[in-house]
């Protein structure tokens, strides 16, 4: 298994540009989520999904869209990039979508710089 | 996150010394997870604690969840340079309304040879 994969590893955008961060997992996990990590603030949840076709907002959803058309993929879209979205983005997945009892597996991250 | 406080924020220890990192919540925790992050890389799962009073060990790392399930500690015995990194606690906190982990801000550990 490749686990959780993320592309690209690094991206530079100009303010106002849009882009999609890709996340895929091959473990047949129902639950997937996106976090952003900023210095001194730990990880903050952006959006999450408990299964294909179901998404919900996390702690900091503004400026981001998600969709879950398949179990394997959970892309994160930046609609109009802003410097405040400069961060490291992590995708995570776990097996079940019930009360959290399962380990979350994290991807290697995408470093995004918005100029 | 303000819901989960980690201390200390950073720690520098000499190789061979013991150290403890704390993670405290003002609310009851359903589950507490410890992760390690090497600089510039993703998160590696260390341990998960669910029951009050539970203690788990892996190699030289021991984690405990207190009886009230509101605080956890991570203890490293005889630290090595390979222990260096950022340690993050994540928790399933009651009544956040979200099926996701809430994370602390992390503890940056340096181990000097």
Residues of chain B with pLDDT under 50: none
Instruction: Provide the pLDDT for residue A59.
Output: 86
Within an 8 Å CB–CB cutoff, is residue A86 touching chain B?
Answer: no
Contact A103 B41 (CB under 8 A): no
Contact A100 B31 (CB under 8 A): yes
Which residues in chain A touch residue B100, judged by CB atoms under 8 angstroms apart? 33, 45, 48, 58, 100
Instruction: Provide the pLDDT for residue A101.
Output: 57
A83 three-state secondary structure: helix
Substitution target in A3, A43, A54 with the highest count of B β-carbons within 10 Å is A43
What pLDDT digit, counting tens, does each position of A13-44 carry?
A: 999 999 999 999 999 999 899 999 998 778 89
Instruction: Provide the pLDDT for residue A58.
Output: 87
In terms of Cα–Cα distance, which of A105, A113, A88 is closest to A37?
Answer: A88
Ramachandran assignment for A78, one of left (phi > 0), alpha (psi -120 to 50 degrees), beta (any other): beta
Q: Percent of chain A beyond pLDDT 90?
A: 77
Average pLDDT, chain A: 91
Q: Percent of chain A beyond pLDDT 70?
A: 95
Within an 8 Å CB–CB cutoff, is residue B24 touching chain A?
Answer: no
Fill in the DSSP letter of residue A84. Answer: G
DSSP, residue by residue, A52-80? TTEEEE-SS-TTEEE--SSSSB--EEESS
């Amino acid at each position: 298994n490749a686990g959780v994969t993320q592309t690209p590893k690094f991206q530079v955008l100009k303010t106002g540009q849009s882009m999609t961060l890709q996340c895929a997992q091959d473990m047949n996990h129902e639950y997937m989520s996106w976090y952003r990590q900023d210095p001194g603030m730990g990880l903050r949840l952006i959006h999450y999904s408990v299964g294909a076709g179901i998404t919900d907002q996390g702690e900091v959803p503004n400026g981001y869209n998600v969709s879950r058309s398949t179990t394997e993929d959970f892309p994160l879209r930046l609609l109009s990039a802003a410097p405040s979205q400069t961060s490291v983005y992590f995708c995570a997945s776990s097996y079940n979508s019930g009360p959290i009892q399962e380990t979350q597996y994290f991807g290697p991250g995408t470093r995004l710089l918005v100029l | 996150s303000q819901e989960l406080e980690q201390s200390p924020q950073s720690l520098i220890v000499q190789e061979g010394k013991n150290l403890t990192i704390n993670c405290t919540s003002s609310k009851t925790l359903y589950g507490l997870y410890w992760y390690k992050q090497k600089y510039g890389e993703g998160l590696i799962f260390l341990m998960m604690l669910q029951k009050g009073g539970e203690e788990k060990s892996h190699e030289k790392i021991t984690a405990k969840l207190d009886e009230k399930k509101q605080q956890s500690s991570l203890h490293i015995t005889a630290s090595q340079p390979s222990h260096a990194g950022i340690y993050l606690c994540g928790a399933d906190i009651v009544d956040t309304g979200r099926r996701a982990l809430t994370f602390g801000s992390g503890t940056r550990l340096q181990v000097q040879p």
